[in-house]
Amino acid sequence: MKIKHWLVVSYIVVMVLPLLALYALYSLISSYDQERDLLEHLELLQTVHEMAGVLEDPGYYTLQSQDRYAAVEALTSSSLGIRLYRYDGILLYSSLDQSTGRLTRLDATQLYRDVNRVQKNLTTYTVKHPVMQKGGELAGFYEVTLRRDVWLSGVQERTVLIAASLTAFVLLLFGGAYALLHRKLNLPLLKLQRQMDAFAEGRRLVSERPRGDEIGELQRRFEAMQDKIEQSQQAVREQQQEKETMLAALSHDLKTPLAAIQAYAERLLADDTLSAEERADYRAVIGDKLRHMKQMIDDLSLYAALQADRYRLNLVEADGEELFEMLLSSYDEPSVRKGIRLTVDQRVDGSSYDVDVTQMMRVMDNLASNAIRHTPNGGQILLSACAAGQPLPEALWSVYRAEVEQWRAGNTVILVQNEGEGIPEALQQPIFEPFVQGEASRTMGGSSGLGLSIAKLLVERHGGAIRLWSAENRGTLIACRLPERKGDDTL
C-alpha cells in the first residue's frame, strides 16, 4: 500500500475507533441501565404493594398528631420516603422534608398530576396513589419515593470504568499507530540513511528487496543512482588506466625512432668518412622516423579529440559514386610496390551520404594501409563498397558472406579484406582499443597503434559501426557499416 493511502487510512482509524469504542461502552451501559430500570421499577411496585395495607387507611388522612403516624414512620428508611396529603392538598406527613412544616398545601393541579404513574429522575422513583373512604369519597393521597442508591453507585463505578477503558483504548490505539508508523516510515528511512552513509564512505550495503511504496521507489532510485555513480567511477578508472597505457605505449613507441634518429644524427656529425650517398641515406632515415613520430602525435591528438563530447564532424552531402571513387583509389601504387594484387569493387550507384569527407578518407587510409602492411608479397587485397540492396562482391570470402549480409542490416558496407597470417583470436576483440597491436605489427613499425581505434571512433561518429573477422593463415576482413541518406533527412 502506498504511504499516502496508508496515512489516510491510519488517520481515519485513529479518529473513528475512539468514537466507536465510546459508542460501544455507551451501548453496554445503556443496556445495563435499561435492565436496572426495570428491576427498580418492579422493586418500587412491590414495595408500594406491600405498604398499601398501611397507607390506604383513611384514618391517616385527617389532621392529627404526628404520633399517630408511627406505623407509617416505621415503613420509611434512608432510601424510602413517604408523604401523605389530604384530599384538598394539605401535607399531613412527610419523612423526606423535615424542614417543611405541616399544613403545606398543594394546588389541585399539582395534587392530581401523575396520579397512579411512576415518575423517574436521576436520583429517585416516585409514585402517587389516591386513598378512598368506605363511602367512596376521596380521603387523600400517599406518595412513595424510592432513592436509586444502587443505580447512583453504579453510575460512579461505570464512569470510572468508562474513563479507564477509554483511556486504555486510546493509549493502545495511539501506541499501535506509533508502532506501525515506526515500522512503515522510520525503520525504512533509517535503513536508507545507513545505506547513504555507507555509500558516502565508499561501501555498499546489501539492501533488502524494495517495497512497493514511495520509500521503496526512493530506494530503487537511490540504488540506480549508486549504479550510475559506480559506472561513472569505473569509466573514470578505465579512462585513467587507458591514459596510463597510452602514455606507456607512446613512450615505448617513441623510443625506437628517437634512438634511430639519435644514432644516425650522431654518425652524421661525428663521421667525416661517410660518402655522400650514405649521408643521403642517413638523412632519409631520419626524415622517415620524424614523419612517423609526427604521425603518432597527430593520431594521438585526433584520438583525444574524438574522445571529447565537444568534437563535431563537418558533415556534407556526398554522392555515393563520387565519394567511394575517391576513397577506394590511390592504393594501386603501394600495392604494386609490394607485389600485392588489388581488387576494387564499387556498387553504390544512386546512393548518397552525410559524411565528413576528410575523416572518411582518414578511415580508409588507416584500414587500407594496415591491410597493405600485413599482406605478404603475392597476396591479395579486396577494397569494396556495397550500397543497401546491392549484392556483396564475389571476391568476399564465402565463410563470412552470410554473416556480413546479416550484419550490414540494410546499410552501405565498406569491406577491406587482405590475405595474411590473420589476427590471433585473443586480440580480435581488443584490437580496436588504443595501442593494441600484435608483435608482428610492432616489429614492422610504420604504425602509431591508434589507426584502428581512430577508424572505429570516426565510423561510430557517422552513425555506423565497424567489425572484424580473422582466421589464421587466411587473413583479415574488416567491415564498416555506413547509414545512407534517406530523402531530405540528415543525420
445-462 pLDDT, tens per residue? 455 678 888 899 999 999
Taking the C-alpha atoms of residue 338 and residue 418, their distance in angstroms, rounded to an integer, is: 13
The CA distances from residue 173 to 14, 180, 181, in Å, are 7, 11, 12
Whether 444 shows a pLDDT value over 70: the answer reads: no
Report field, pTM of the whole predicted structure over 0.75: no
Task: Flag whether pLDDT at 311 surpasses 90.
Answer: no
Parent domain of 223: 214-303
Q: Do both 283 and 412 map to the same domain?
A: no
Q: How does pLDDT run across 153-182, given as a tens digit for each residue?
A: 777 777 787 778 878 877 887 888 788 777
* 340 lies in the same domain as 478: yes
- What mean pLDDT comes out for the span 280-302? 82
420: domain CATH number is 3.30.565.10
Query: Of 282, 303, 324, which residue sits at a domain end?
Result: 303
121-132 pLDDT, tens per residue? 888 889 999 999
Query: Which residue, 303, 329, 350, sits at the end of a domain?
Result: 303
- Domain match, 338 and 260 both: no
Domain identity same for 340 and 430:
yes
CA atoms within 13 A on the CB side of 12: 6
With cut-offs at 50, 70 and 90, classify the pLDDT of residue 487.
low
* 342 assigned to some structural domain: yes
* pLDDT higher than threshold 70 for residue 440: no
Q: In terms of domains, do 325 and 350 share one?
A: yes
Average pLDDT for 365-370:
91
| Same domain assignment for residues 289 and 326 | no
Domain with residue 240: its CATH number is: 1.10.287.130
Whether 460 and 318 map to the same domain: the answer is yes
Sorting pLDDT into bands at 50, 70 and 90, what band is 397? very high
Angle subtended at Cα 97 by Cα 96 and Cα 103, rounded to the nearest 5 degrees? 120
pLDDT of 1 reads 55
Cell representation of residue 207: 539492501
Residue 372 lies in a domain: yes
Q: What are residue 475's DSSP bridge partners?
A: 419, 471
Q: How confident is the model at residue 375 (pLDDT cuts 50, 70, 90)?
A: very high
For 456, the grid coordinates are 572505429
Whether residue 104 contacts residue 90, with contact meaning beta carbons closer than 8 Å, is answered with yes
User: Is the pLDDT reported for residue 40 higher than 50?
Assistant: yes
Query: Among 252, 279, 303, which residue terminates a domain?
Result: 303
Using pLDDT thresholds of 50, 70 and 90, give the confidence band for residue 489: very low
Number of domains in the chain: 2
Residue 309 lies in a domain: no
Residue count of the chain: 491
350 shares a domain with 224: no
